[in-house]
Amino acid sequence: MKKDFFIDIAQIKQKSKSKAIENQELKKYLSVFSSTEIDQKVFAIAAEVSASIDCLACANCCKNLEPELKKEEISHLANLKGMEAADFAQEYIHSDLVEDIDFLKQKPCVFLADKACTIYAERPFSCADYPHLYKPYFKYRLKSILRNYELCPIVFHTVEELKVHLMK
């Protein structure tokens, strides 16, 4: 059954601030459970939250993040844009030379039109995987999860629902 989760980013940012201390405490609650138990809870909650939120009404990730790209994705994206890979890289890619990681650098994303991804079926892996809630080891990834908490309504509500489950 769909639940009524708010997705207004200003409201989420405001609530995030007021929950900063509570979120620091969350680590303590997570420590009581095994990593597998936490992951099972998170997967179930994230599925329920995701089914109740329409990303096409949000697109906040595509407006604010710089998705990481695999090397082989760069030429594919250039192709989709009708550009040579070198030209595409120069205009749209930021490379971290120390870590050897490439990112799409334009914000909002160059492939975003209104609130929809124009290359949805062929979007980069890191976009398809976002907001990274179905990866294992949630309890050890809490810091990075909380970086997305005030940016993504799915993350915000998954964490809030998790608190209700753990703290009841």
For ligand SF4, the binding residues (CB under 6 A) are 53, 55, 58-62, 67, 109, 111-112, 117, 119, 123-124, 127, 130-131, 152-154
For 86-118, b/e burial (b = at least 16 CB within 10 A) is eebbeebbeeeeeeeebbbeeeebbbbeeeebe
- Give the position of tokens 């490379």: 95
Rounded to the nearest whole angstrom, what is the least distance from the CB of residue 10 to ligand SF4 in the complex?
14
Rounded to the nearest whole angstrom, what is the least distance from the CB of residue 113 to ligand SF4 in the complex?
8
Rounded to the nearest whole angstrom, what is the least distance from the CB of residue 140 to ligand SF4 in the complex?
22
Cβ proximity to ligand SF4, 35 vs 59, nearer residue = 59
Cβ proximity to ligand SF4, 35 vs 48, nearer residue = 48
Question: Residue 8: is it exposed, middle or buried by C-beta count within 10 angstroms (0-12/13-18/19+)?
Answer: exposed
Cβ proximity to ligand SF4, 29 vs 119, nearer residue = 119
Cβ proximity to ligand SF4, 36 vs 94, nearer residue = 94
How far apart, in whole angstroms, are the C-alpha atoms of residue 135 and residue 88?
Answer: 31
Give the C-alpha distances (Å, rounded to integers) separating 87 from 11, 69, 102, 105, 149: 39, 16, 15, 14, 35
Rounded to the nearest whole angstrom, what is the least distance from the CB of residue 53 to ligand SF4 in the complex?
5
Cβ proximity to ligand SF4, 15 vs 29, nearer residue = 15
Rounded to the nearest whole angstrom, what is the least distance from the CB of residue 48 to ligand SF4 in the complex?
14
How far apart, in whole angstroms, are the C-alpha atoms of residue 159 and residue 33?
Answer: 15
